[in-house]
Amino acid sequence: MAKGTKYVAKEPDAGGFIHYSDDENAVWHELITRQMTCIPGRACDEYLDGLDKLQLPHDRIPQLEEINKVLRATTGWEVARVPALISFDKFFSMLANKQFPVATFIRCWEELDYLQEPDIFHEIFGHCPMLTHPAFAAFTHHYGELGYKASKEDRVFLARLYWLTVEFGLLQTTKGLRIYGGGILSSIGETNYALDSDKPERVAFELVTMLRTPYRIDIMQPIYFIINSIDNLFELSKIDLMVYVEKAKKLGLLPPKYPPKTMTA
């Protein structure tokens, strides 16, 4: 998570309604319109089914209660308003209680293509469609429960699992590779890069390897892990993941597949 942000989450009025400006709604319209032209043939069917259930508006930023009506009916989840940045304690606690955190701000035009902080477009468009899927929702809930109880050291390993599945996971289907990770599906650049570029590695899912794989949040991912079914994630919710975390800790991190971050003055 970033240490600081220029963005401030929007507060609801007395009736629970969050007011967005015409300019903010226009940013949402631009983001969702171009992603909707990009994801056919790239997003997995489970994501597209969830997107169909949500029926997200294109002309304005949706209200959280609109999302919650669908999530409650499908998997018992909700989205919950948070500030732009929250602690890991809060993050894991919310997931453990089937609440997905959503910062109620949207990026500015100057950062349309890339934003380090997760904004409402990333959280709603990227993640909420998959949260309508029972297997995916069960995995996310289990992950939150584990993370809330875990030590600070263990949370770093669990963060890699989340990053390389929920954020940047790929799915092998009978139609070819498809995307289920919200970090990819909310980015037009990474949606194309993840499937069409010859630069990244695409490797089969292997839990301990994934837990040992370093990542950076500010670059296109150098490696993507592929599952064969969303049910593979459900299977993870039924095993003791901390046993695998201990194995990964003993083996240590793998060499990073990206150059070191250069510091600017």
Beta strands in 163-215 (DSSP E): 170-173, 176-179, 201-204
> DSSP 3-state helix, strand, coil percentages of the chain (rounded to 5)?
50, 10, 40
User: Cα 204–99–115 angle (5° rounding)?
Assistant: 65
What separation in angstroms does the CA of 251 have from each of 32, 155, 236, 246, 247?
Answer: 42, 16, 21, 9, 6
Provide the annotated active-site residues: 122, 127, 167, 186
Residue tagged 């500015």 (tokens): 108
Residue tagged 């990474």 (tokens): 190
Contacts of 28 (CB under 8 A, 6+ apart): 20, 60, 61, 106, 120, 121
Kindly state the tokens that stand for 17: 């309604």
Give the whole-angstrom CA distance, residue 85 versus residue 5.
8
DSSP string, 18-68: PP--HHHHHHHHHHHHHHHHHSTTTB-HHHHHHHHHHT--SSSPPPHHHHH
Kindly state the tokens that stand for 18: 């969050």
Task: Confirm if 144 and 86 have CB atoms less than 8 A apart.
Answer: no
Contacts of 124 (CB under 8 A, 6+ apart): 56, 62, 67, 79, 102
